[in-house]
Amino acid sequence: MKTYKEFLENKGEAKWQKYWEKKKLFKTPEEVTKTNKYYILPQLPYPSGSGLHVGHAEVYSACDIYARYQRMKGKKVLQAIGWDSFGLPAENYAIKNNVHPKISTDKAIDNFREQIKSLGISVDWDKEVGAHNSDYYKWTQWFFLLFYKRGLVYRKKQAVNWCKSCKTVLANDQVTSEGYCERCDTQIIQKDMEQWYIKVTEYADRLLEGLDKIDWPEETKKRQRDWIGRSEGASVEFKILNSEFKIEVFTTRPDTLFGATYIVLAPEGQYVQDLKDRIQNWDEVKKYIEATSKKTELARQIDKEKIGVELKGVKAINPANNEEIPIYIADFVLASYGTGAVFADAHDERDFEFAKKYNIPLLVTIKPDDENEWKKVQNLEVCYEGDGVHFNSGFLDGLRINEAKTKIIKWLEEKNIGKGKVQYKLRDWSVSRQRFWGAPIPMLQNEEGEMKPVPEEDLPILLPEDVDFKPTGESPLNYSKEFQERAEKKYGKGWKYEPDTLDTFMCSSWYFFRYLDPKNDSAFASPEALKKWMPVDFYLGGPEHVNGHLLYSRFFTKVLFDAGYIDFDEPFKVHRHQGLILGPDNRKMSKRWGNTINPTDVVNQYGADTMRMYEMFIGPLEDDKPWNENGVKGVRRFLDKVWKLQEKVGDEKKEDERIEKLTHKVIKKASEDLETLGFNTAIAEMMKIVNEMNKEESLQLATYSLLLRLLTPFAPHMAEELWSILGHKDSICIQSWPEYDENLVKDDELTIVVQINGKLRGDMTVSADISEDDAKKQALEIENVVKWLEGKEPKKVIYVKGKLVSIVV
RNA sequence: GCUCGGGUGGUGGAAUGGUAGACACGAGGGACUUAAAAUCCCUUGGUAGCAAUACUGUGCGGGUUCGAGUCCCGCCCCGAGCACCA
């Protein structure tokens, strides 16, 4: 007999990988129905130059095990892999090493593909796509035009997140909460720039509602809800004294309008500029504005102390009571949310704090129900934000918050000085990047600044070849002679292509559609393919994509739905996250700590099957878990045992009821675990049965075959090899998933434990069909139980069927 | 600050309100070996005991229950997300 070690050393795993490829075993089935199709999606990888890491291996192993399991259950599976191949790292690498990003990217992809194949991942490679290929980015550009046609694209000059090191604009979700660049850790500054924006905010409500109908982790849905940040309130107009000028504010508490004693404007907002001529202390105000613009986001976040400046000589009028109130600027008001202006009152912590600091009068308008609280509120000792009864509030007096809100909104609308309004935290998506390695934005501009979209039939706008991509802060495409001459030739003198490229999230927001029909030249995917395969049945990806990729993909899908291309509007029916695999030192793997593990090294040393299984065995898929070299050896030991069991498979039909029953129990448990992605416990079950089989002198062929089929999704190479050693000519991957026999899962005898006052005092082995009365009677006869009862009569005896007898004394 | 997760042996982790610690690693002991590796067998939450067994034990303090790692209330700690959103 060949040993498992010899099998691995003789490239046995590669042999089976080639076999699968040659037999096209994992080619996507053509004939599928709505009920038997199963679309499994591992998240799109960025093909970095440093190759596959253990996190990739985790995603692919998990999806692959699930895919192979579903196939054996009779599902028609589509599983594909592609490349998120545009983006900054490739470009930065290109700059540093003077290689064209296309060359380094293609090389990285070849490497990734080989590494993934060496893990034995069962994907249909005919479906492979790469975002940097023109037959792909043609359709990325097409999506931009689709949004443009539907009025979802606009151009705006706005303060944007600027990374000095990457020399480009970043979207909000590409900036860390501390204000650093997600890619290079440089501190982000704010810079005014003209950018293309996509109106995701128009879909804010739909993006919220859609969350209710998809099976995603609750936390993930919550994070998206928070990111969208819907709040209901009202907009209110404040007149400026002795002027036609008006300031519009947004508030979620219009009911406190009578208590509005001052107004605060965002320092970088438009209102201050508009009032410039009337402001008597402009020098002071200007200084404050400048100081604010220099402050980084980080400083503004950390510096919680509220400071501001009063605009002298300007007063606003509270429309509710016609009181004249002062106007301030302060950086706790953000220009980018609402109207960049707020009214301030006694029932908001920030307003309260600010007023105390600058001795601005406050007017309490809500009386809490609690008398003690009320005293403190009345004396302005604390700020009260809760519900209560209004007073000092004219026609709102006596009402509680909700009624007061409704009433004042009605009043504002009648007087035409305000209205009910919904505000979102979600911002529109800035998609312009001043970089080379991305899809060119399909827009044209002439010398007068006139803009028009590239006609759809002219797509793709190819990236030029003659580009010096050294970053200057300006778009490299500006420097391509060929690129701009191409536009002039086609669209007449003076017309130029937009020199910016698209954010790579534009590329990754629709790749799951392209897998369905990757070579289609007349559509991003055919209607038939879309109908057949979408939506995705199972999507596995990292939690870092919640407010970026996942939100944008949902947005793309909703626009396609509205445009009539598809008949569903949520792309991912079931979504789960994988956890991080940490270094052996429990820290995040990083070159800096020298704690990285290269999956290919592990495959070479222990085999792909060990690698796949180990990553699934260390803990629940969604948890972060540390790598442990000894754990890898443990899994390898397990596979060695499975291999050696073949020696015990005998010809003679020896009755082996114990093992058979245990095997069926394992089938039951492992099947249940696989349904819920409980790979770690499913593997534990298999280890258990293998340990039991090992204790036997001989093993029935049928039972061993059951074990091999159970093992197939996890360790497909070994399963194939052993299957063929048993004499089979076909692949074990196309065998059906074993069904357990209900009769074999049932026990004839059970152990029932006996408790006295909740403490374990003994157990008994009884027949499975024992009656309640018999169980109780027998329990009371157990020696140790008799001892503990000390002759006392039990008060109560509880019987839990097949589990325990609980005696109360 | 707010919002989620989570806290179980030496370690990673198992446990529909019903035998806490499955499975694995590590450790200790033994077998094989000239020796080591590999492999196999035994032990392994803590305390006491030769043992049967007893006590104790799932971050802390209460509660509900015949019975709580699991449910409820109040804390402590760790991790993540959001962060002046009016």
Q: How far is the CA of A759 from the C1' of B15 (A)?
A: 18
Q: Which residue is nearest nucleotide B79, judged by alpha carbon to C1' distance?
A: A624
Q: Which pLDDT belongs to residue A297?
A: 54
A63-A67-A70-A72 Cα dihedral, nearest 10 degrees: -140
> What nucleotide is nearest A690 when CA is compared to C1'?
B23
Question: For the ranges A477-486, A573-582, A585-594, A717-726, which has the lowest average pLDDT?
Answer: A585-594
Strands A501-502 and A308-317: unpaired
Contact A485, A465 (CB under 8 A): no
**Residue range A299-323: average pLDDT?**
84
Pair (A272, A162) in one structural domain: no
Beta bridge pairs of residue A352: none
Pair (A407, A441) in one structural domain: no
Pair (A308, A395) in one structural domain: yes
Pair (A324, A466) in one structural domain: no
pLDDT over 80 at A649, yes or no: yes
Pair (A411, A285) in one structural domain: yes
The CATH number of whichever domain residue A788 belongs to comes to 3.10.20.590
pLDDT over 60 at A302, yes or no: no
Report chain A's mean pLDDT, rounded to a whole number: 91
Contact A771, A740 (CB under 8 A): no
> What nucleotide is nearest A683 when CA is compared to C1'?
B23
Please indicate, yes or no, if residue A653 is contained in any of the structural domains: no
Q: How far is the CA of A809 from the C1' of B53 (A)?
A: 21
Q: Which pLDDT belongs to residue A296?
A: 56
Q: How far is CA A161 from CA A24, A167, A180, A186, A223, in A?
A: 48, 11, 10, 11, 22
Pair (A280, A335) in one structural domain: yes
Please indicate, yes or no, if residue A361 is contained in any of the structural domains: yes
Q: Which pLDDT belongs to residue A295?
A: 67
Q: Which pLDDT belongs to residue A292?
A: 83
Q: Return d(Cα A580, Cα A54) in angstroms, integer.
A: 9
Q: Which residues contact A294 (CB under 8 A, 6 or more apart)?
A: none
Question: For the ranges A116-120, A164-168, A753-757, which has the lowest average pLDDT?
Answer: A164-168
> What nucleotide is nearest A798 when CA is compared to C1'?
B66
Instruction: State what percent of residues in chain A have pLDDT above 90.
Output: 70
**Domain around A758:** 747-808
Pair (A160, A181) in one structural domain: yes
Q: Which pair of tokens denotes residue A801?
A: 């069927």
Q: Return d(Cα A514, Cα A525) in angstroms, integer.
A: 6
Q: Is A804 exposed, middle or buried, given 0-12, 13-18 or 19+ CB atoms closer than 10 A?
A: middle
Q: How far is the CA of A805 from the C1' of B71 (A)?
A: 22
Nearest to A608 by CA among A584, A570, A636: A636
Instruction: State what percent of residues in chain A have pLDDT above 70.
Output: 97
> In the listed set A502, A518, A536, which residue is the last one of a domain according to the structure?
A502
Q: How far is the CA of A637 from the C1' of B51 (A)?
A: 36
> In the listed set A396, A423, A450, which residue is the last one of a domain according to the structure?
A423
Q: Which pLDDT belongs to residue A524?
A: 98
Please indicate, yes or no, if residue A777 is contained in any of the structural domains: yes
Strands A37-42 and A538-541: parallel
Q: Which pLDDT belongs to residue A505?
A: 95
Q: How far is the CA of A439 from the C1' of B79 (A)?
A: 38
- Give the end-to-end CA distance of chain A in Å, rounded to a whole number: 63
pLDDT over 90 at A780, yes or no: no
Please indicate, yes or no, if residue A521 is contained in any of the structural domains: no
Question: For the ranges A18-32, A292-306, A324-338, A728-742, which has the lowest average pLDDT?
Answer: A292-306
Please indicate, yes or no, if residue A455 is contained in any of the structural domains: yes
**Residue range A581-587: average pLDDT?**
89
Q: Which pLDDT belongs to residue A468?
A: 77
> What nucleotide is nearest A254 when CA is compared to C1'?
B86
Please indicate, yes or no, if residue A454 is contained in any of the structural domains: yes
**Residue range A280-306: average pLDDT?**
76
Q: How many domains does chain A have?
A: 3
Q: Which residues contact A251 (CB under 8 A, 6 or more apart)?
A: A233, A234, A235, A236, A257, A342, A343
Q: Which pLDDT belongs to residue A785?
A: 86
Pair (A300, A388) in one structural domain: yes
Q: Which pLDDT belongs to residue A109?
A: 97
pLDDT over 60 at A298, yes or no: no
Pair (A419, A463) in one structural domain: no
Phi and psi of A514, rounded to 5°?
Answer: -70, -30
Q: Tell me what ipTM this predicted complex has.
A: 0.95
In the structure, what pLDDT confidence band is assigned to residue A326 with cuts at 50, 70 and 90? Answer: very high
More confident residue, A69 or A478: A69
> What nucleotide is nearest A687 when CA is compared to C1'?
B23
Contact A31, A78 (CB under 8 A): no
3-state secondary structure of A83: strand
Contact A90, A105 (CB under 8 A): yes
Q: What confidence tens digit (pLDDT) does each residue in A758-771 have?
A: 888 888 888 888 88
Starting at the edge strand found earlier in the chain, the sheet holding A759-767 runs: A759-767, A749-756, A804-808, A796-800
In the structure, what pLDDT confidence band is assigned to residue A435 with cuts at 50, 70 and 90? Answer: confident
The CATH number of whichever domain residue A384 belongs to comes to 3.90.740.10
Q: Which residue is nearest nucleotide B67, judged by alpha carbon to C1' distance?
A: A758
pLDDT over 80 at A294, yes or no: no
> What nucleotide is nearest A806 when CA is compared to C1'?
B66
Nearest to A174 by CA among A563, A567, A548: A548
Q: What confidence tens digit (pLDDT) does each residue in A372-400 have?
A: 888 888 899 889 888 899 999 999 999 99
What is the residue type of A141?
A: Q
Please indicate, yes or no, if residue A549 is contained in any of the structural domains: no
In the structure, what pLDDT confidence band is assigned to residue A93 with cuts at 50, 70 and 90? Answer: confident
Q: How far is the CA of A582 from the C1' of B41 (A)?
A: 35
**Residue range A10-21: average pLDDT?**
96
Q: Which residues contact A73 (CB under 8 A, 6 or more apart)?
A: A736, A737
Pair (A456, A333) in one structural domain: no
Please indicate, yes or no, if residue A459 is contained in any of the structural domains: yes
Pair (A165, A314) in one structural domain: no
Those nucleotides of strand B lying less than 7 Å from any protein Cβ are: 3-5, 11-16, 18-20, 22-26, 38-41, 53-55, 66-68, 80-86
Q: Which pLDDT belongs to residue A369?
A: 86
Q: What is the DSSP string of A238-273?
A: EEETTSS-EEEEEES-GGGGGG--EEEE-TTSHHHH
> In the listed set A445, A469, A502, which residue is the last one of a domain according to the structure?
A502
Q: Which pLDDT belongs to residue A20?
A: 97
pLDDT over 60 at A744, yes or no: yes
Q: Return d(Cα A419, Cα A416) in angstroms, integer.
A: 8
In the structure, what pLDDT confidence band is assigned to residue A790 with cuts at 50, 70 and 90? Answer: confident
Around Cβ A304, how many Cβ atoms within 10 Å? 9
Q: How far is the CA of A13 from the C1' of B34 (A)?
A: 38
Pair (A240, A148) in one structural domain: no
